[in-house]
Amino acid sequence: MSLPESHCGAGRRGEDHALDHLLAKGYRLVRRNYRFGRGEIDLVVDAPNGALVFVEVKANRVSGAGRPLERIDARKIRRLQRLAQRYCWQHGQENRDMRFDVVGVELRDQGKPDIEHIEAAFIPDGSGYL
């Protein structure tokens, strides 16, 4: 009998599936799990069109947990925007076209997960670099 998967384990597995999905679509990984202070951006990728994309991954172990974008509130969006500003400042990327995507991954015990990729899921608020 195996132990149930932890929340962190499911999150990591969701990120793995999300990254595989993005790479198959022509994205290129720039950074995984960018952290600053208490915040984290799951994936930073270059889109095929050249935009810098900050990706929030939402993994579900059970069906019916809602769409991934529904699980991101205004506070989380503000935190992601601040982290993206910090990332751009630290890496000299202030003048790049950029956006925020969300990838929802419905994990399954067996078989391929269901993946929903929402491009430009929310719009930067206009403050700072974004």
Show me where the domains of the chain are located.
Answer: 27-122
- 27-122 in CATH: which number? 3.40.1350.10
Higher pLDDT, 7 or 35: 35
pLDDT tens digit string along 25-58? Answer: 999 999 999 999 989 999 999 999 999 999 999 9
- Give, in degrees to the nearest 5, the angle at Cα 64 between 62 and 65: 75
- Give me the helices (H) in the chain, please: 7-24, 74-90
Radius of gyration of the chain (CA): 15
Cα 26 to Cα 45: distance, rounded to the nearest angstrom:
10
| Location of structure tokens 């009998």 | 1
Higher pLDDT, 123 or 24: 24
Task: Supply the pTM of this predicted model.
Answer: 0.85
